[in-house]
Amino acid sequence: MDLRTKYMGLELGSPIVLAACPLSDDVEMVSRCVDAGAGAVVMRSLFEEQITKEQHLARPSLGEADGEAVPFSSSVNRYLEQIARLKDALDVPVIGSINGTTMGGWVRQAEMVQRAGADAIELNVYYCATDPDEDPRDVEQRYIDIVKAVCIRITVPLAVKLSPFFSAPVHMAKRLEQAGAEGLVLFNRFYQPDIDPTARKVSSKISLSTSDALLMRLRWIAATYGKVKASLACTGGVHTGIDAAKAVLAGANIVQMASAVLQRGPSAISDVREGLKTWMRHNHVENLDAIRGEMSLARCKDPVGVFRANYLKTLHDWHPTDTL
């Protein structure tokens, strides 16, 4: 079975990619993931806030003269050095992930990551619109402006990790592609804060994904496939070979895995890889290109009708015993 695929012009031996997570800090662990079948690795995100805080603490005094060099962040040094270490240790593409707060921050981080040797860059635009006076068009334009600014300054491929909360995701995908994005990652998992009712304070809670999280990704990858030329990455909910097969059928070029690897280690990648190959063998599929997008809406004559028909069928066919 041929698992080769292309992602943003990068040749991958496997569609399974280690998603951005803390595991990328460990070269040995990443090497094990590649040995298990990962076709590329996305590094954990480099956050501008952390860099800014370290630079501020490193200033000798608040009265620093204008024009004096701003101290370089140790986080940046470690991140860039880790890119070099991964590039030396691996024979698969290494994709840097950055998360900025200012336009200048996005651009500077992208330039540094490219210079360190990353094969591509993923923009982790982690932004939740909570201001009732903020126009939704301004939220969308924020993404477009970031992509345009970064693309002017880098030459490696650029992917954008999308929020699932846009009112018209496919239209947004087209705008991002026009701005210069060569890859679209669906979707960012915004970690939800919990409330401690006893202490009456917000508490942090991280819930790893399950295969149930895949359904929303399948819907919008299927809707986006064929409407843009950008590569599509499915992230969130891939835990089995069948999950990976579904994503490719919807139109994904790659699937990114983090939660399953955090739970089960590198063997989660080999399990998905072997499961995908088994599915392909049983269904007489020789390569992924032959089935990619087969279940996308681009191949439906009436995609809106399909959405509504499925919605109606789900509601009308449900019985109380379905949950027992």
Could you tell me if 13 and 92 are in contact, meaning their C-beta atoms sit under 8 angstroms apart? yes
Residue 302 located in a structural domain: no
Backbone angles phi, psi at 125, to 5 degrees: -85, 85
The whole-number pLDDT of residue 64 equals 47
In the predicted model, what is the mean pLDDT of residues 179-205? 88
Reported as a pLDDT band with limits 50, 70 and 90, residue 287 is very high
For 259-280, write each residue's pLDDT tens digit. Answer: 999 999 999 999 999 999 999 9
The answer to whether position 105 is within a domain reads yes
Q: Which amino acid is at 259?
A: S
Tell me if 314 is assigned to some domain.
no
The residue with greater pLDDT, 199 or 14, is 14
Strands 16-18 and 10-12: unpaired
Cα 291–223–100 angle (5° rounding)? 105
**124 vs 102: CA distance, rounded Å:** 13
- Whether 194 is in a domain gets the answer yes
Separation CA 293–CA 291 (nearest Å): 6
Residue 272 lies in a domain: yes
Does 306 fall in a domain?
Answer: no
Identify the CATH number of the domain in which residue 147 sits: 3.20.20.70
Residue-averaged pLDDT of the chain: 89
Domain boundaries, position 155: 5-296
- pLDDT by residue (tens digit) across 216-231? 999 999 999 999 999 9
Classify 193 as helix, strand or coil.
coil
CA angle 114, 116, 117 (to 5 degrees): 70
Number of structural domains in the chain: 1
> Is residue 96 situated within a structural domain?
yes
The DSSP letter of residue 71 is P
pLDDT for res 311: 64
Question: Does any domain span residue 313?
Answer: no
